[in-house]
A and B are shown apart, each in its own frame.
Chain A
Amino acid sequence: MASLFRPATASLRRLATTNARQLHATARLQAENPPPAEGFMPGVAHSKLIRGTPELALATPDLPAHIVKDGQTTKMNLFQAVNNAMDTALGTDDKAVVFGEDVAFGGVFRCTIGLAEKYGRDRVFNTPLTEQGIAGFGIGLAAAGHTAIAEIQFADYVFPAFDQLVNEAAKYRYRSGDQFNVGGLTVRMPAMAVGHGGHYHSQSPEAYFAHTPGIKFVVPRSPIQAKGLLLASIRDKNPVIFMEPKILYRAAVEQVPVGDYELPLGKAEVLKEGKDLTVIGWGSQLYILENAIQMAEEKHPGLSCELIDLRTIAPWDVETVVNSVNKTGRLVIAHEAPLTGGFAGEIAATVQEKCFLRLEAPVQRVCGWDTPFPLVFEKFYVPDIIRCYEGIRKAIEY
């Protein structure tokens, strides 16, 4: 994430906002104290997208009324929110179990900390090192009517499980004529760039799974979102893959409602309303987009951008996106995953089909280059603030 605090040109440096200066200061601090394995996205704490007070938290759209009324929130980061969601699931569903590599001691990212002690090693347990085994085991548990919460240690390692997820889990209900289903299966995986992950600790595999009818794919951007979306995913009657941006595990901190709540799957959220341009992203990319929008709105006075968090990649909220582009006429989509075959292509194709005459500019896709995720070249690879800003500029100056 080096590009966040090292703008390329003098003019852009002048445009550096308080936000960016703070990012720079944070970055210097990071250099002296090396970041944790999962990375630490600087500046998230200062993001307007973060609901850091109880008032902001309780204003979260789609929060159930009883949660708002109860009013209790507590400070949690992303891994604590994920932990809390699983704790809630285990506590309210006797048939729920959590399993995967290293989950018993708390997990390599602390997502399962305390759960084995609280619920016992028959409900929270380690598996051998086998993603295909983990996925297959989860499918069997779910086929038998139980709730299987599986962890794949890194999204980069989901591929041995691909056959089980795509050929089995996704087709289980359909092929059986609805005699059987594995709705009780949820597969969680840390993913996305961390700053030093390279090929195999940075991937975003959403496109592979979005192409598979029968499974759902969800990406949270913050602790409040993670808890609600994960609980919804666990309780959804379809197999769900839940991709957690690991660079946010410690960096994203919010006041999270303590009660049991779900947020809706298949529904995007408009984070910032605007009239001139629609910007779409998911997970950690939203914080980059927020900064890029800020930069653009300062450089182009009068510009107002609408920022949308897609939240569910499959099935995605076409209606919200189309309504937005019909309003603005311009669209920028950003994701870390490589450009070709990436999910931005799916959104772009649908938008050009449904909003063709409304579009004022070609849809801009700001994505990872079509290379494996490089270590030392990460800052040149990722769709950072500058590239996202340039995508916005191209869309508005067309």
Chain B
Amino acid sequence: MASSLRSAATLLSRTAAAHPRLAARRALATSAARLQASAPEVVVSAPLAHAAADGPKFPGALHSKYTHELAFIKQSAVLPTYRVLDQDGQIVDAAQDPHVDEAWAVKVYKTMVTLNTMDMILYEAQRQGRISFYMTNYGEEATHMGSAAALELDDIIFGQYREAGVLMYRGFTIDEFMNQCYSNVHDYGKGRQMPVHYGSNKLNFQTISSPLGTQLPQAVGAAYALKRAKKPNVAMCYFGEGAASEGDFHAALNMATTTNSPVLFFCRNNGFAISTPVSDQYRGDGIAARGIGYGMHTLRVDGNDVLAVYRATQLARKHAIEHSEPVLIEAMTYRVSHHSTSDDSSAYRSKREVEDWKARDNPVTRFRKYMEAKGWWDQAKEDKHKKETRKTVLAAFAKAEREPKPPVVDLFTDVYDTVPPHLREQEKELHALMAKYPDHYSTAAYAPSK
């Protein structure tokens, strides 16, 4: 085949000069021969190396240069993971030291421990039937604290559902957490949603919703508003690697770059979406590689390293504000937790694997080692804090449990800014039923409707 092509090429070249159409056919024949001779299955990382100096200048890729080598383009190397602290709590490269002070470190560490304690008690509460549902945050404490510590109160936060530590760091009290989980009269959400669907307008933390990924394009819009208002702030958007498969993720990243919105996309890649391991979730290089595809500044960090997460978020935030650009941060971590109280992860992963991770790379322990080396923490402080925290959490828990539920009138309020006639009518109908069947529709557990 190749030899017949070559002889055809030779024959054609003799008559090429006299006949333009033959010249074209000759060019085709020679390129066909070249194709035959090359190995199209060979994967090279940069066909650009063989490109000519000029390019077609199509509007879709204005700066793309010609290449005359046909080869699949594949990512040449897995994106590296930024780390500051090693497993022994030592700063690996002194140049990366964020130089945090003792107060900062103590607040971060104490909040991590308080989060663990609250998680432990509320998980148990669900198991005992006292609250209907809960999600713990074990293993991801550093992603919460490191990022929260780099934000300002005027930064607007959109979470997914496993960022309770962020809210805690910002100042949400144990009482406030408990009230939401118990759906009592003090819940800011008025008991309308399942536990862990926190929201706080005073802490600028948008109320959590269950649909995954919906918060991503919303964060872009909020960031655009901040930019328009000329505020030196970002919208911070948390999500998991599973949620990043949703269409909203792609819509959001694309909208963020094209509208030049100062939004930080913070992905907690913890290896699982309920039972779905990352190998069933994606085949690319995690979520970070996608940011590059959207033309976005991207960082991949060790999510179990509080200082790395802190530095990355700081840098991202600064860039986003100064350049009015989005940044994608992929924080690699491991979901020690079950997905929720409705999940027993031993059904799809070995308990051994989880124990290994807890022993090998516990973000809380890693940071504690750093603090102890600095002389900012010790066992006595640990015991004292654990004891105090447990006491506070248990007291808040008991108090929240005793509170009544919100008044039944709040079934009908806030659907719109005011209650429309048809809802007033439906409310009357319900009231009539409640009056007729008072035992069935007992309001003993509910605060009185004013």
Contact = CB atoms under 8 A, between A and B. Distances in A.
Given A144-B221, A214-B416, A137 B207 contact: no
A132 B251 contact: yes
A132 B199 CA distance: 23
A133 B211 contact: no
B417 A180 contact: no
A386 to B, nearest CB: 34
Contacts of B226: 144
A135 B255 CA distance: 11
A128 B235 CA distance: 20
Interface stretch (A65-73, A171-179, A336-344): A171-179
Contacts of A134: 255
Nearest to A126: B258
A15 B188 CA distance: 65
Nearest to B235: A140
B217 A136 contact: yes
B127 to A, nearest CB: 26
Contact of B224 (A141, A175, A179): A141
Interface string A119-144: 00011010110101111111111111
B252 A136 contact: yes
Interface string A275-318: 00000000000000000000000000000000000000001001
Given A140-B235, A176-B189, A177-B188, A160 B247 contact: yes
A102 B7 CA distance: 55
Interface stretch (A162-170, A326-334, A370-378): A162-170
Nearest to A238: B416
A27 interface: no
A177 B255 contact: no
Given A133-B251, A177-B189, A181-B417, A144 B225 contact: yes
Contacts of A97: 224, 228
What interface size band does chain A fall in?
35 or more
Contact of B221 (A139, A172, A238): A139
B270 interface: no
B259 A125 contact: yes
Interface residues of B, number: 48
Nearest to A350: B422
Contacts of B228: 95, 97, 122-123, 146
A175 B193 contact: yes
B421 A319 contact: yes
Contacts of A213: 415
B420 interface: yes
Given A130-B251, A164-B214, A171-B209, A178 B414 contact: yes
A140 B263 CA distance: 11
Contacts of B216: 136
A183 interface: yes
B76 interface: no
Contact of A179 (B207, B219, B421): B207
A266 interface: yes
Interface string B409-436: 0000111110011100000000000000
A216 B193 CA distance: 22
Interface in B385-427: 413-417, 420-422
A228 B176 CA distance: 43
B421 A318 contact: yes
Nearest to B197: A175
B209 A128 contact: no
A390 to B, nearest CB: 31
16 contacts: A95-B228, A128-B258, A133-B255, A136-B214, A139-B217, A139-B218, A140-B219, A145-B225, A146-B228, A164-B218, A167-B209, A174-B192, A175-B189, A179-B189, A238-B416, A315-B422
Interface of B: 156, 158, 187-190, 192-193, 197, 199-201, 206-207, 209, 211, 214, 216-226, 228-229, 235, 247-248, 250-252, 254-255, 258-259, 413-417, 420-422
Interface of A: 95, 97, 122-123, 125, 127-128, 130, 132-146, 148, 160, 163-164, 167-168, 171-181, 183, 213-214, 216, 237-238, 266, 315, 318-319
